């Protein structure tokens, strides 16, 4: 008896099931605590925008302006807008700033002065191996995002 070449229905179903499992695992990555690259970039840009707003406020009002960040809740406030702004996505934040601006283990600030300078600092937005650094130069107050 001669058997024809090809795949059986059972073999095709097994291959489709394996493909579905792999697809489900790949697509559930962001749901398992990993932020997408777009979420990380959006959070870094939102922070940079808030920092630039604080610098502009300090220079325009001729008074110190502050961006205060809560790394646990992923929220920040500025002197001009005291309503908390929530950062999008699920990722880890780290804040490096002047000791005088640290209010608790999970909260700290970056201060801008009327001449545009600042206390300086860095906010790291990370998820797994991916990360963005939002740097504030202490001398010029310049805000830059690097990856």
In our burial notation (b when 16+ CB lie closer than 10 A, e otherwise), range 29-55 reads eeeeebbeeebbbbbbebbbebbbbbb
Domain count, the chain: 1
Residue 81 is assigned to a structural domain of this protein: yes
User: Stretch 104-120: mean pLDDT, rounded?
Assistant: 96
Of residues 74 and 31, more confidently modeled: 74
Residue 51 is assigned to a structural domain of this protein: yes
Q: What pTM does this model have?
A: 0.76
Residue 15 is assigned to a structural domain of this protein: no
Residue 118 is assigned to a structural domain of this protein: yes
The pLDDT score that the predictor gives to residue 111 is 97
Residue 90 is assigned to a structural domain of this protein: yes
Structural domain boundaries enclosing 103: 35-146
The pLDDT score that the predictor gives to residue 122 is 97
| Residue 53: CATH number of its domain | 3.55.40.10
């Amino acid at each position: 008896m001669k058997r024809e070449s090809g795949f059986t229905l059972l073999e095709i179903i097994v291959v489709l099931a394996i493909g579905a499992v792999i697809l489900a695992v790949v697509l559930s990555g962001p749901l398992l605590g990993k932020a997408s690259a777009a979420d990380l970039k959006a959070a870094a840009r939102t922070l940079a925008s808030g920092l630039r707003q604080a610098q502009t406020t300090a220079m325009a009002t001729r008074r110190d302006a502050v961006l205060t960040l809560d790394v646990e809740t992923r929220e920040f406030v500025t002197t001009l807008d005291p309503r908390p702004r929530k950062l999008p996505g699920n990722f880890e934040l780290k804040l490096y700033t002047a000791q005088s601006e640290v209010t608790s283990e999970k909260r700290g600030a970056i201060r801008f002065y009327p001449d545009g300078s600042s206390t300086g600092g860095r906010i790291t937005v990370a998820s797994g191996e991916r990360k963005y650094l939002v740097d504030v130069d202490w001398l010029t107050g310049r805000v830059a995002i690097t990856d």
